[in-house]
Amino acid sequence: MRALIRRVLNASVTVREECVGEISNGLLVYVGVSKDDTNDDLIWISKKILGVRIFEDSDQRMNLSMCDLNRDILLVSQFTLYGSLKNGYRPSFNDAANQEVAFLHYEQFLNLMKRSYKGNIQSGQFGENMQIEAVDDGPVNLWLDSKSKNY
C-alpha cells in the first residue's frame, strides 16, 4: 500500500459536480493498493498516518500528530500511485491491485481508519473520476510505502 500525505488548510472532493467530502485543517491522503497488499500493510499505513508528527508545536517544531490535534482527514483512492515509467513514457499499472481487490482493501482501510481515529474522516468515491481541490499548508508532503519502510 502506498500513501501520499498532504498537510492542508482545506480540501474537498467532487464527483459529478457534487461535493462528496470536505475537510478543513488536516490531512489529504491519497491511497493506492498494490496487488500484494495484506492486512498488515493496511495497519502499517494507518498507524503512520495517524502518528506522523507534521504539525507544529508551540516552539514551531513538527512535533504533533493527528491524534494530538484531532484534525480532519480526507482519504482519496488513487491507483496511479502504482504507476511505473521504467519502460518508457506511458505509465504501467501492473503493480496496482485490480479494481475488485483494491475496492475491498480500500473499504477495509477506510473502516480501520474510522475505528482507530475519533476525528472527522471523509472519503472520495472509489473508482470514480474525482476533482480534488486543496490548499496546502507549508507545503508538507510525505510518501509512505508499506513495502519499502526505510524512508
Residues with catalytic function: 78-80
* CA angle (90 as vertex; 87, 95 as ends), nearest 5: 70
Say what the alpha-carbon torsion angle 5, 71, 42, 143 is, to the nearest 10 degrees. 10
Of 52, 28, 56, 14, residue with least CA distance to 134: 28
CB atoms under 10 Å from CB of 69, counted, come to 12
HSE of 81, CA atoms in CB hemisphere, 13 A: 23
Rounded Cα distance between 76 and 131, Å, is: 10
> β-pairing, 121-123 with 55-56?
unpaired
Q: 109-118: string of b/e by CB count within 10 Å (b at 16+)?
A: bbebbeeebe
